[in-house]
Structure formats: structure tokens, C-alpha cells
């Protein structure tokens, strides 16, 4: 799409799947007069409302659309979306003393996208691949899935953090309960997204990357385009 | 300074002079376990407190130091700072129906920096160069000053905005009340900072840039280092 003015962008819709910083802070770079439609669950939109800084995203230009789970809606012409809950947690900045990472609700969702007769899933955060998640993904042609960490204590071991992946709401790629093993029965093409910079699959020559590719997964990269 | 660990940064102190997005949103990129000291007026720190998203900037790692106006404090060893009010306004996302741009208080401040026997001023936003501002700057060896716009209706003319510079809290560079004319009596070396991307002084061959340089001002650029 061509820009319509000097400060325009080709972005017509934004869909939030989570209320944490890495999902919402980018809105502050799209301010302040750029029109687009903003879709999210009511609970995620509440996070924005509770933080007045997001009032800079002008509600007259950026319409906020609350979306219920399990309800189809048009993200843009020809592209339909449906949200579903996956195991997760509240945003880091809203954590209390006790943090549950198995919440099933409106705080962490995946997206089922349909267009051109194809079905794709986008799941950037998922604390556990439950049987319900597997069942949801069963009609996928393509899955974009949470590839944050290779293994659960990677950040602790590398001295870059004090939490496990699961504690952060991200199932690891490796291991008997990891995403590769859990999703291996699905016929879909599979791509890891949301990859943390400690994850060895980002290293071109790593055995972990080789394993991921041998397992039939792609590893997303900036600027990537995928045709259905 | 050398990093002390993989996720370390050489940043030891952050000083906020304003509570608007372009001043505070960067804090969200420094999260979440990077220790530094955060200095600002109480009113600017209140803006952070009122937006829970900034709780991601862990208060146990990032100590928040409220600083009174006209009070010297150590920003880091050998570098002393003092805040002073300049004409300005509340952050965009806190604007009500009536917006005053001549507020003198804790919402928009300049900084007087002293070290090595030299005095520098850092003033990224200033809606008007009043006589009080001029008097404050009179002992400067170097001034870094608000260079947002060349002239007041530049964004309106270019179709990139609907507000004048003064309405946004920024005095223009040009014109009889602009910063070049108002500051011309000061002996300090002068550098424009906080330059909007509509400002013609950013164009290498523009007459506006030539005029600025002929008037004895520098134009700041990314990565610039200045020795006292």
C-alpha cells in the first residue's frame, strides 16, 4: 500500500495478543496522528486504558475494537481472525507476589488467521502446549509459534536473567514437553517466532539450529515474507 | 565503561527533563534488570508512577531520585546537575481541553551541568526564551538548545501536523522571537538538539542550515562527542 501522506504508514490494523511491554510499547512509536484500527481482547485493551501514556495514541484516529474470544472478525479485507486463549500470565509490570503461568483467559491469546482458503496460527507466547492448544492448532496450514527459549533455564545459565522460560510464560523448544515434540504430529508448516537473543537457534552453525531445521521447522527472520 | 555482564549497559544515570513520550518511553527499552539511577522532578516521577507500565523498570534495580528545582546534585562522580523551570506544558497524553504552554514548574525543565570547571546547559524543550531563561543561561560555556522546528507553522505547512511549534512547547529557531535572535548575546558555544525531521536545517545544502551555521550554532548529530 502506498502512503497517503508524509506521516502515513501502510499499517491499517494492529492486533495485540498480549499486554506486556514487548507487545504494546511499539504503539508509542506509531503516535500520534496515524490512523489505524486496534484490535485486542477487553482485558488487553484495559491495560492500555489503565496507562494514560497510551492516550497519546489518539482514539479519534485509532479506533479501539474489543474482540471476544472464539469470535471471527475481519482484520482487513480478505483476512479474518479469531482469538483463542493459551496458557500464560499477566504482564510483567502487573505481576503480584504470586504469579500463575497457567492462566487461560484474555491476557495471553493466539490468533487463527484465515484467508485465501488457508489457515495460519500466530502464537507468540504460550506457557504450555496443552491438549487444548494442540486441538486448536489441528486445522493449521502454517503455525507461527513461540520460540523464545531453547531450554527452560537458558537465561539463568547465561547470566542474563533469573527466571525460567515457563515462569516468563514461554514453553521451551527442546525437551520431552517442548514445542517441537508436542507439535510434531501436526501436518502444518511450522515457523518459530519471538526468539530471544539468548536462543542458540539464532546462531547459524549451532547444533540446536540444525536440530530445529531437521525437525521440519523454519526460523523466522526480519523482513521475511511467506506466501500461502 | 566496560559492561559488567551480558545484559549490562554503560548507563549509570538517567535524568528526565520532561514526562512526554519522547523523553520517557526509552526507559521501557532499558528494562528490566539493568541497574541505574533515575533522576527527575517529583512531578515527572509522578507521571511514571501513574503509568504502571513503568513498574517494569524494577525499582529495586533502578532507584528513583526526586530532585527539587534549583538544587545541585551529583549525576555521576565529577558531574553536577541543577534543574530549572522553562516555559512548557504537560505531556501530550495528559493534555486537557485547555492547554497552557507557558507553565513554569516541574513539568518542563532545563539542566545546568557543571564539571571540569565548565558550565553546560541542556534544554531540549522550551516554549519561549523569556528574560528569566536568558538570565539563567548567562554563565554557560556551552548550550544545547531546543531545535525542534525552524519556524512555528512548519508542520502545518508540510502536512505533517496540525499544531504550531509553540503549541507543542517548542520555540522556533527563526524569526525575531526565535532562539537564534534571543540567544545571540550569549558568549557560549551553542548546539541545536531535539531537531524534528521536518526541520530544513537537517538538509545538508539548505539555506536554513547555512544560516544557522553562520549564526555560530552547531547542529547536533547522532554519535556526536563534544569535549569541554
Put simply, the chain A residues between 12 and 41 with a CB less than 8 A from any chain B CB are: 21, 24-25, 28-29, 31-33
For chain B, domain boundaries: 69-219
Using CB atoms within 10 A of its CB, is residue A66 exposed (0-12), middle (13-18) or buried (19+)?
A: middle
Determine contact: A4 vs chain B, CB below 8 A.
no
With contact defined as beta carbons under 8 Å apart, do A60 and A35 qualify? Answer: no
Distance from the Cα of residue A18 to its chain's centroid: 7
Quote the pLDDT of residue B1: 44
Task: Inform me whether the pLDDT recorded for A166 exceeds 80.
Answer: yes
Q: Sort residue B72 into left (φ over 0), alpha (ψ -120 to 50) or beta.
A: beta
Mean pLDDT in residue range A174-187: 97
The shortest CB-CB distance from A52 to any of B32, B56, B94 is to: B94
Mean pLDDT in residue range B190-210: 97
Q: Copy the grid coordinates of residue B57.
A: 523498570
ipTM of the complex: 0.89
Mean pLDDT in residue range A175-181: 97
Determine contact: B69 vs chain A, CB below 8 A.
no
Mutate to test the interface with A, among B22, B93, B96, B168 (most CBs of A within 10 A): B93
Quote the pLDDT of residue B139: 98
Task: Inform me whether the pLDDT recorded for B228 exceeds 80.
Answer: no
The shortest CB-CB distance from A21 to any of B24, B28, B92 is to: B28
Quote the pLDDT of residue A10: 83
Q: What are the pLDDT digits (tens) for B51-96?
A: 999 999 989 999 999 999 999 999 999 999 999 999 999 999 999 9
> How much is the mean pLDDT over chain A?
94
Angle B158-A31-A4 from CA coordinates, rounded to 5°: 45
Say whether B54 and A6 touch across the interface (CB within 8 A). no
Quote the pLDDT of residue B3: 53
Within 8 A of B28 by CB-CB distance, chain A residues are 21, 25
Mean pLDDT in residue range A100-117: 95
Task: Inform me whether the pLDDT recorded for B2 exceeds 60.
Answer: no
What is the 8-class DSSP label of residue B208?
A: H
Q: What are the pLDDT digits (tens) for B91-148?
A: 999 999 899 999 899 999 999 999 999 999 999 999 999 999 999 999 999 999 999 9
Spatial separation of the C-alpha atoms in residues B220 and B213, rounded to whole Å: 12
Spatial separation of the C-alpha atoms in residues B228 and A159, rounded to whole Å: 38
The shortest CB-CB distance from B56 to any of A6, A50, A92 is to: A92
Say whether A55 and B161 touch across the interface (CB within 8 A). no
* Lowest-confidence segment of A8-12, A136-140, A159-163 by average pLDDT: A8-12
Task: Inform me whether the pLDDT recorded for A2 exceeds 60.
Answer: no
Mutate to test the interface with B, among A28, A49, A53 (most CBs of B within 10 A): A53
Put simply, the chain A residues between 175 and 214 with a CB less than 8 A from any chain B CB are: none
Spell out where chain B has E strands.
Answer: 13-15, 36-40, 62-66, 73-76, 79-85, 109-115, 118-123, 142-146, 189-193, 217-219
Mean pLDDT in residue range A192-200: 96
Mean pLDDT in residue range A63-78: 96
Using 50, 70 and 90 to split pLDDT, how confident is the model at A1? very low
Say whether A93 and B53 touch across the interface (CB within 8 A). yes
Determine contact: B50 vs chain A, CB below 8 A.
yes
Nearest one of A184, A188, A195 to A221, comparing CA atoms: A195
Say whether B159 and A32 touch across the interface (CB within 8 A). no
Tell me the CATH class for B69-219.
alpha beta
Spatial separation of the C-alpha atoms in residues B193 and B148, rounded to whole Å: 7
Give the right CATH number for A70-219 from 3.60.15.10, 2.40.30.10, 3.40.47.10, 3.10.129.10: 3.60.15.10
What distances in angstroms separate CA A112 from CA A72, A137, B91, one per listed residue? 9, 8, 38
How many CB atoms lie under 10 A from the CB of residue A6? 12
Put simply, the chain B residues between 95 and 154 with a CB less than 8 A from any chain A CB are: none
Say whether A50 and B52 touch across the interface (CB within 8 A). yes
Q: What percent of chain B has pLDDT over 90?
A: 85
Within 8 A of A29 by CB-CB distance, chain B residues are 25
Mean pLDDT in residue range A175-196: 97
Q: What percent of chain A has pLDDT over 90?
A: 85
Amino acid at each position: 500500500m502506498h502512503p497517503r501522506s508524509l506521516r502515513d504508514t501502510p499499517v491499517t490494523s494492529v492486533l495485540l495478543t498480549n499486554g506486556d511491554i514487548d507487545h504494546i510499547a511499539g504503539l508509542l512509536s506509531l503516535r500520534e496522528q496515524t490512523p489505524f484500527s486496534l484490535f485486542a481482547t477487553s482485558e488487553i485493551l484495559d491495560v492500555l486504558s489503565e496507562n494514560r501514556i497510551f492516550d497519546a495514541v489518539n482514539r479519534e484516529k485509532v479506533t479501539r475494537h474489543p474482540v471476544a474470544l472464539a469470535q471471527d472478525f475481519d482484520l482487513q479485507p480478505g483476512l479474518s481472525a479469531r482469538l483463542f486463549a493459551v496458557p500464560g500470565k499477566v504482564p510483567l509490570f502487573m505481576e503480584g507476589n504470586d504469579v500463575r503461568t497457567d492462566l487461560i483467559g484474555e491476557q495471553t491469546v493466539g490468533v487463527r488467521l484465515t484467508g485465501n482458503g488457508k489457515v495460519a496460527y500466530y502464537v507468540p507466547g504460550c506457557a504450555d502446549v496443552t491438549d487444548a492448544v494442540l486441538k486448536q492448532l489441528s486445522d493449521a496450514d502454517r503455525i507461527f509459534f513461540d520460540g523464545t527459549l531453547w531450554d527452560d533455564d537458558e537465561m539463568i545459565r547465561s547470566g542474563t536473567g533469573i527466571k525460567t522460560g515457563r515462569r516468563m510464560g514461554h514453553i521451551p523448544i527442546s525437551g520431552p514437553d517442548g514445542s517441537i515434540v508436542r507439535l510434531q504430529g501436526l501436518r502444518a508448516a511450522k515457523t518459530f517466532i519471538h526468539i530471544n537473543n539468548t536462543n542458540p537457534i539464532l546462531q547459524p552453525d549451532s547444533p540446536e539450529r540444525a536440530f530445529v531445521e531437521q525437525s521440519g521447522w523454519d526460523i523466522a527472520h526480519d523482513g521475511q515474507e511467506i506466501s500461502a
